[in-house]
């Protein structure tokens, strides 16, 4: 493995050595092909990177010192080998990944706006994702993958998955139901709604029923107010808490301006940091990773939300799906700021480099 200090700007952080596995994420990883700005048909080259909600969460957790494993399926192809290497280089345990000889690794193309007057161009700074995941290796995820991954699951304290995973196929829904049925002593189950209508079009099941069932069965649940409105008919935090009293941790992301967190009966609303958005992809995953890492570190309720915001800010001001985080000392200092100091903070990649 090359010295991380000699990497390009994309890989400028020094990824921590993984410790014992405390967290496990379960879901699809995708190869990402990022086009040049402008109409997609005019892009002569594509930058390859990696994406997928649970992949993004796993890499945030390892950066924050939480030993993490990823359970998934990839194809026996170059994209699958790339994903395994991508995660391994970032300290994620990849021993529970199954390589499928018959199905391909999923991928998506990220189209980027150039702001020209051409009819097929997007606005400058905007992006659009084109997914190619039908019949992917990860769509074959099933409860058998939990049995195969017993070694990494045995002593973990947290399992995280999203609504993307459960939407991939009926067997993937069986997998996520099996996760929620696992013994809980000393273990938390975390679920992020991540509603993707395009994935549910191919399903005969009712998305709202399945997703509501999974929210209710989780210990930690993340919901975007906009997606909750679409799925459950309300994005109001109080209404959602009344609808879902079961998760001890219920986190509602309110359109980027603030996050409302419920911890039991305690309610805490924390404003987002001021920043200049480079790209919004991956911010919700980074938030979940920051929140969950702070939870495993035993931090107080408000700091759980602040760690989420700080990690989301790193994603929003970066250029890739994977957030590259500031030093741990910077995160700790900012998370412990007074309310007035927090409100005055403006996050930039430059200020975040100061430890």
Strands 266-271, 258-263: pairing is antiparallel
Strands 68-75, 97-100: pairing is parallel
Cα separation, 80 vs 30, in Å, equals 8
DSSP summary character for residue 10: G
Catalytic residue among 145, 192, 219, 285: 285
Q: What are the helix (H) ranges across 137-224?
A: 144-148, 150-153, 163-167, 170-180, 197-200, 207-217
Residue 285 known to be catalytic: yes
Tokens 């273990």 belong to 187
Contact 74, 138 (CB under 8 A): yes
Tokens 């769509």 belong to 139
Q: Helix 328-335 vs helix 301-316: angle between axes, to the nearest 10 degrees?
A: 130
Contact 61, 292 (CB under 8 A): yes
Cα separation, 24 vs 68, in Å, equals 5
Phi, psi values for residue 132, rounded to 5°: -130, 80
Which two three-digit tokens encode residue 110? 């990220």
Q: What are the helix (H) ranges across the chain?
A: 53-63, 78-89, 144-148, 150-153, 163-167, 170-180, 197-200, 207-217, 225-232, 237-243, 283-296, 301-316, 328-335, 339-344, 349-352
C-alpha dist (Å) from residue 103 to 70, 80, 130, 165? 19, 10, 19, 17
Cα separation, 330 vs 353, in Å, equals 8
Q: What are 347's strand-pairing partners?
A: 275
Active site residues: 285
């Amino acid at each position: 493995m090359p010295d991380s200090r000699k990497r390009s700007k994309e890989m400028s952080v020094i990824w921590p050595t993984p410790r014992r596995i405390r967290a496990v994420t379960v879901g699809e990883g995708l190869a990402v092909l990022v086009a040049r700005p402008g109409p997609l048909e005019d892009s002569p080259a594509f930058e390859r990177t990696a994406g997928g909600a649970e992949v993004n969460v796993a890499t945030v957790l390892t950066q924050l010192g939480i030993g993490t494993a990823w359970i998934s399926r990839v194809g026996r192809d170059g994209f699958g080998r790339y994903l395994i290497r991508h995660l391994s280089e970032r300290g994620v345990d990849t021993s529970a990944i199954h390589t499928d000889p018959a199905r391909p690794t999923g991928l998506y193309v990220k189209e980027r706006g150039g702001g020209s007057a051409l009819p097929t161009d997007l606005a400058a700074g905007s992006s659009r994702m084109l997914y190619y995941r039908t019949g992917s290796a990860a769509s074959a995820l099933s409860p058998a993958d939990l049995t195969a991954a017993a070694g990494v699951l045995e002593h973990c304290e947290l399992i995280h998955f999203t609504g993307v995973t459960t939407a991939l196929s009926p067997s993937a829904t069986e997998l996520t139901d099996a996760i929620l049925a696992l013994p809980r002593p000393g273990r938390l189950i975390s679920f992020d709604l991540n509603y993707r209508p395009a994935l549910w079009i191919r399903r005969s099941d009712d998305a709202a029923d399945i997703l509501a069932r999974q929210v209710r069965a989780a210990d930690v649940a993340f919901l975007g107010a906009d997606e909750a409105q679409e799925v459950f008919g309300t994005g109001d935090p109080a209404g959602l808490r009344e609808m879902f009293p079961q998760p001890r941790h219920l986190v509602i992301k309110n359109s980027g301006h603030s996050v409302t967190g419920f911890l039991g009966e305690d309610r805490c609303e924390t404003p987002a940091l001021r920043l200049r958005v480079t790209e919004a992809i991956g911010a919700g995953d980074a938030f979940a990773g920051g929140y969950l890492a702070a939870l495993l570190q035993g931090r107080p309720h408000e700091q759980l939300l602040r760690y989420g915001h700080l990690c989301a800010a790193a994603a929003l001001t970066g250029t890739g799906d994977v957030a590259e985080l500031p030093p741990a000392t910077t995160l700790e200092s900012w998370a412990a700021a007074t309310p007035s100091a927090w409100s005055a903070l403006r996050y930039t990649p430059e200020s975040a480099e100061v430890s």
